[in-house]
Amino acid sequence: MNEKEAPRPRIMVVDDDTAVVDALCGTLRERGYDMGGFVSATAALTALKDSRFDLLLCDLNMPEMEGIPFLRAAREIDPDLAGIIITGQGTIDTAIEAMKAGALDYILKPFKLSIVLPVLERGLAMRKLRLENAALQQRVSERTAELEGMNRELEAFAYSISHDLRAPVRAVSGFANFLKQDYGDQLPAGGHQLLEVINSSALQMGRMIDSLLELSQLGRRPIELEPVDMAALVAEVVAELQRLPQANRAAVEVGPLPSCSGDPLLLRQVWTNLVSNALKFSARRQQARVEIGGRDEADQLTYFVRDNGTGFDSRYSDRLFNPFRRLHGEEFEGHGVGLSIVKRVVERHGGRVRAESELDRGATFYFTIKARP
């Protein structure tokens, strides 16, 4: 046989009538099947333990062992075996009982080759499909386990790096302060400015480390779903942000916000990041305005935060949600992690986040939630 040629299907026939076994084996062998015929159920089960068969043709009524118990015993030996019952009792009860035992079909006696062959083809096709599905599930399980392991390693790596970076950053900031306190009177004005830059950079690095830790912890924290009153949640977030000392006096308009099912702590973080961004980037407007709203659509809930701030070039909107990627340089405070957190939280709720904007014409951020309360 050519190495690329598929192996011939192997069929086992079990019937206490020798004439039936011989007739089926002879006819099907001529049709390209490898056959094994048995008039003894015990001998057939022994053969199954030693050899591979793809499909079983088994008589329903046999003196040594009934067909349905035999089929169950055969499938215990080889769960992938496709079983077909041969019976002279063409009743619905017979078919149902055979299907419960794992049979894919049944053939009535006296049978015709024109009926037997399509049943065999269906049975073999079903077996092939089962094997392919099992192999696919195995690959998916292995890939899922591999990805989970990689995620755990990445989170552990991020935590370790963040933890190890804290000490040198604190040392830089601390020694800069010691230098200023002990030798400040000996430093020229330029030296003091450099110390301020060192301190500012160390503080910025510390905030980036905190953000990296926060981002890595999002993957480990389990989501606790419960009904969330989005209107009440947003009202709390807006009130908290407007009480901050550095808050600008933007006019915040909150429209209808449908409730959803989600993790209230994580969703609070989404709203806090989006609204604080809108307040920050509209702060330089004489009439700063932030609009918040939502709508209940056919298959999801959609929420948005819109501002009339500096905006951005929409060609680069995909960069916004990558950690530590910023489109505004150093002119606005921040370290480029807030929107990454928004994206991760929304995706863990089964939703998506996107942004629309034009330079100097504001921006709108949308996110969706699948689950209604």
What pTM did the predictor assign? 0.52
Grade residue 1 by pLDDT with cuts at 50, 70 and 90.
very low
pLDDT of 329: 46
Residue type present at position 279: L
Stronger pLDDT, 98 or 289, i.e. the higher one: 289
Per DSSP, 222 falls in state: P
Residue 299 has pLDDT above 80, yes or no: yes
How sure is the predictor about 261, in pLDDT bands with cuts at 50, 70 and 90? very high
Q: What is the pLDDT of residue 365?
A: 93
State pLDDT tens for residues 99-112. Answer: 777 788 888 887 78
Percent of the chain with pLDDT over 90: 24
* Mean pLDDT for all residues in the chain: 83
Question: pLDDT tens for residues 270-283?
Answer: 999 899 888 888 87
Mean pLDDT of 163-169: 77
Please give the Cα distance from 245 to 34 (Å, whole number). 84
Query: Which domains are present in the chain?
Result: 10-111 (3.40.50.2300), 146-218 (1.10.287), 226-369 (3.30.565.10)
H/E stretch holding 145 = helix 113-183
Confidence of residue 96 (pLDDT cuts 50, 70, 90): confident
What confidence tens digit (pLDDT) does each residue in 300-346 have? 899 999 998 888 767 766 677 776 555 544 444 545 678 888 898 89
Provide the pairing of β-strand 251-254 with 289-296.
parallel
Instruction: Name the token pair of 197.
Output: 């830059």
Q: What is the pLDDT of residues 129-144, one digit of tens each?
A: 888 988 998 899 888 8
pLDDT at 190 exceeding the cut of 90? no
Task: Please write the tens of the pLDDT for every residue from 194-253.
Answer: 888 888 778 777 777 776 676 666 666 678 889 999 999 999 999 888 887 666 677 889
The Cα–Cα gap between 171 and 236 comes to 38
DSSP 347: H
pLDDT band, very low/low/confident/very high, at 115 (cuts 50, 70, 90): confident
pLDDT at 44: 92
| Secondary structure of residue 264 in the 3-state scheme | helix
What's residue 180's pLDDT?
84
CB 339 within 8 A of CB 366: no
Q: What is the pLDDT of residue 234?
A: 95
**Which position has the higher pLDDT, 93 or 1?**
93
7 pLDDT above the threshold of 50: yes
Give dist(CA 128, CA 201) in Å, integer.
63
Q: pLDDT tens for residues 168-187?
A: 888 888 888 888 888 888 88
